[in-house]
Amino acid sequence: MGLSAAIFGMQGTGLTEQEIEFFKRVKPYGYILFARNCESPEQIKKLVGELKKVSGRDILPILIDQEGGRVARLKPPHFPAFPAAGKFASLAINDIEAAKKAVYENARLIAHELYELGITVNCGPLADLPVEGAHDIIGDRAFGKDVWQVSQLAESFAQGLADGGVVSVLKHIPGHGRAFADSHLELPVVDTPLEILRQSDFLPFKALSHLPMAMTAHVLYTAIDPENMATVSKAANSIIRDEIGFDGLLMSDDLSMKAMQGDFTQRTRDVLSAGCDIVLHCNGDMTEMLAIEKGLKPLSGKALERANKAMEGAGKTKGFFDIFIARENVNKALVS
């Protein structure tokens, strides 16, 4: 059996015997790390080595959420604190070019930290457009509220990661900025007409549709599909592929979030049958993972092609990069 269409998390700072047995049997496409898995640089490198050994692959998708600001799994004292996207959004209002340069260098710095640890994929940038009064789950994680600005800064972030040898994950496609609820806790419902979504929310994702990976939004858009949220909606997946034009690897947001319905086997089947290439499960709960296994299918066909292509840039850095000068430049830009 080949790779299965899943990315899994794990419980702790090292693999348990049960996890090793499960991962060897299921052969997930990749893995995702959270703060609970990250104790020190040496420990993380050892865990990455364990995952490579279990998978039998050197080029392995190992994901993390290291956006900067409040979404950062790697934190001081072992790792630098990186600024939130909102800091660069404020700079861009007066000087978009300075903001783009600072975003790029900041992303290269993040990529440097991940590269050193063997982490190959960063879940960012966000291309969401927050509206007034929306839930703060996006908030300062966004690069602003203007289509062009968000597109420009998110592109710079993705380029910085790529040049640092780290694959980016565009999120949360086709847009989470109008959500008035946190999808970790409940299902956000957006009633905005489709034409307005086409003229605003979809546009940054369209501009970034060339990126290698993307993550869906656990949001129900009544104008797209009145019954199913985007992650499990064939209509939404059709818009992502055909209208927005994204042809990279499409993964779900976390299956364990409260926005989803049904048992974990059914959630898995719903996500894959709707058109996502990969299911993502983050919390490392083995009971849930065993249920997901029952709904999984092998990566094959177009999904396998996308999965392989997405990792082509992993570990391939471009050009000399001075981390000390970059840190100084980013700090200067944000206090100017």
CB contact at 8 A, 276 and 237: yes
Give 184's pLDDT tier (boundaries 50, 70, 90): confident
Stretch among 49-58, 98-107, 131-140, 258-267 having the lowest mean pLDDT? 131-140
Task: Return the pLDDT at 250.
Answer: 98
Q: Which of 175, 236, 229, 232 is nearest to 206 (CA)?
A: 175
* Contact by Cβ (8 Å): 1, 27: yes
Whether 1 shows a pLDDT value over 70: the answer reads no
pLDDT confidence tier of residue 134, bands split at 50, 70 and 90: confident
Rounded Cα gap, residues 172 and 5, in angstroms: 19
> To the nearest whole percent, how much of the chain has pLDDT over 70?
100
pTM of the model: 0.96
Q: Within the chain, how many helices (H) and strands (E) appear? A: 12, 12
Tens of pLDDT along 302-312?
999 999 999 99
Average pLDDT, the chain: 96
Q: In whole angstroms, give the CA distance from residue 94 to residue 290.
A: 51
pLDDT score at 180: 81
The pLDDT of residue 133: 81
Percent share of the chain, pLDDT over 90:
93
Q: Is 281 one of the catalytic residues? A: no
CATH of 4-335, one of 3.40.50.300, 3.20.20.300, 1.10.357.10, 3.30.460.20: 3.20.20.300
Angle subtended at Cα 82 by Cα 76 and Cα 88, rounded to the nearest 5 degrees? 160
Candidate from 126-135, 161-170, 233-242 with smallest mean pLDDT: 126-135
At 160, list the tokens. Answer: 């910085």
Q: What is the DSSP letter of 22?
A: H
d(C-alpha 203, C-alpha 47), whole Å: 38
The strand ranges marked E within the chain are 4-8, 28-33, 62-64, 66-68, 71-72, 121-122, 167-173, 189-190, 213-216, 220-221, 249-254, 278-281
Pairing status of strand 167-173 against strand 121-122: parallel
Instruction: Write down the catalytic residue from 184, 191, 210, 263.
Output: 184
Set 201, 225, 253, 270: catalytic member: 253
The answer to whether residue 184 is catalytic is yes
Residue 246 and residue 26: Cα distance in Å, rounded? 28
CA pair distance 213, 246, nearest whole angstrom: 9
Domain ranges for the chain: 4-335
**Residue 185: pLDDT band with limits 50, 70, 90:** confident
CB of 205 within 8 A of CB of 127?
yes
* Extended beta strands in 166-247, E state: 167-173, 189-190, 213-216, 220-221
Q: What pairs with residue 215 in β-bridges? A: 171, 251
Q: Is the peptide bond before 125 cis (omega within 30 degrees of 0)?
A: yes
| CA-closest candidate to residue 247, choices 295, 207, 211 | 211
